[in-house]
């Protein structure tokens, strides 16, 4: 796990439902966060928290419970409050996406903290006073009530996406068909379409161009091209060819 995510702390203040604590722990862990602090949770530890954490009980077990927000923030270099509502005071307000690189840059040097208030009413004004900026998740203005764990999930996700080293590894690439083989295929296809009477070379109506575009978009793999060539050969010479053996299906 990159050090920058290790330095991101999540603080849940006065959470009402232990299930939400468990779900938040799971959400954190899926994105590589592990440092959870709980300010006066209503019920914790609790079986509902364990149930909702799925396999993230390590995060729950390591969670630190504190009596006040100040203690939970101890050592943090940047404190960001999560809010659904527009706040009147003059905090800097960032979107989740804007927040992520900023928070991570700080996390390279020191612990940074995301703070979440209660399910019903969010952060109190006294809690907001301890935040240096606010973060906001874009949402439906008619129904912006994200579940607590969902909010933790999205902010954790944005943080993970902002770690450059964690950019998704590219999918294993199949070998693409070569240009020359593609051209042979198009030639064979054209002759086949003429042979079956679909293409009239005297009035081609850009048919081959359309088909080229279609197959180009698919970025044909070598093996797929062999399949297509095998089909064309059977269409034109049904007597001569059996099911071709020069390709093989591999999953």
Applying the rule CB under 8 A, the residues between 117 and 176 that interact with its own copies are 136-140, 143-147, 149-150, 153-154, 157, 160-161, 166, 168, 171-172, 174
Q: CB 66 → its own copies: shortest distance, Å?
A: 25
Q: State which residue, 179 or 217, has the beta carbon closest to its own copies.
A: 217
Q: Does 32 bind its own copies (CB under 8 A)?
A: yes
- Give the count of residues interacting with its own copies (CB under 8 A): 72
Cα dihedral 94, 100, 101, 102, rounded to 10, equals 50
- Tokens (6 digits) for 65: 């419970």
Q: State which residue, 67 or 246, has the beta carbon closest to its own copies.
A: 246
Q: CB 4 → its own copies: shortest distance, Å?
A: 14
Task: Find residue 82's DSSP bridge partners.
Answer: 135
Secondary structure of residue 184 in the 3-state scheme: helix
| Binding residues among 171-200 for its own copies as defined by CB under 8 A | 171-172, 174, 193, 196-200
Q: Which residues touch 235 (CB under 8 Å, ≥6 apart)?
A: 192, 195, 196
Q: Which residues touch 178 (CB under 8 Å, ≥6 apart)?
A: 222
Q: State which residue, 67 or 245, has the beta carbon closest to its own copies.
A: 245
DSSP state of 137: -
Q: CB 72 → its own copies: shortest distance, Å?
A: 23
Separation of alpha carbons 109 and 6, rounded Å: 11
């Amino acid at each position: 796990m990159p050090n920058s995510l290790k330095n991101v702390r999540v603080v849940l203040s006065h959470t009402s439902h232990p299930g939400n604590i468990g779900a938040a722990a799971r959400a954190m862990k899926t994105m590589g966060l592990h440092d959870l602090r709980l300010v006066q949770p209503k019920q914790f530890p609790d079986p509902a928290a364990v149930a909702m954490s799925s396999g993230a009980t390590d995060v729950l077990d390591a969670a630190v419970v504190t009596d006040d927000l100040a203690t939970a923030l101890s050592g943090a270099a940047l404190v960001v409050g999560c809010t659904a509502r527009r706040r009147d005071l003059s905090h800097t307000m960032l979107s989740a996406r804007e927040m992520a690189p900023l928070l991570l840059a700080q996390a390279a040097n020191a612990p940074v903290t995301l703070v979440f208030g209660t399910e019903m009413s969010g952060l109190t004004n006294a809690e907001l006073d301890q935040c240096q900026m606010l973060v906001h998740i874009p949402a439906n203005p008619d129904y912006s009530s994200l579940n607590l764990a969902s909010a933790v999930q999205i902010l954790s996700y944005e943080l993970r996406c902002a770690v450059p080293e964690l950019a998704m590894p590219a999918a294993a690439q199949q070998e693409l068909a070569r240009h020359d083989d593609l051209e042979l295929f198009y030639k064979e296809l054209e002759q086949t379409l003429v042979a079956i009477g679909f293409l009239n070379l005297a009035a081609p109506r850009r048919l081959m161009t359309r088909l080229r575009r279609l197959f180009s978009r698919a970025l044909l793999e070598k093996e797929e091209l062999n399949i297509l060539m095998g089909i064309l050969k059977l269409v034109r010479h049904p007597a001569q060819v059996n099911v071709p053996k020069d390709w093989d299906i591999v999953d």
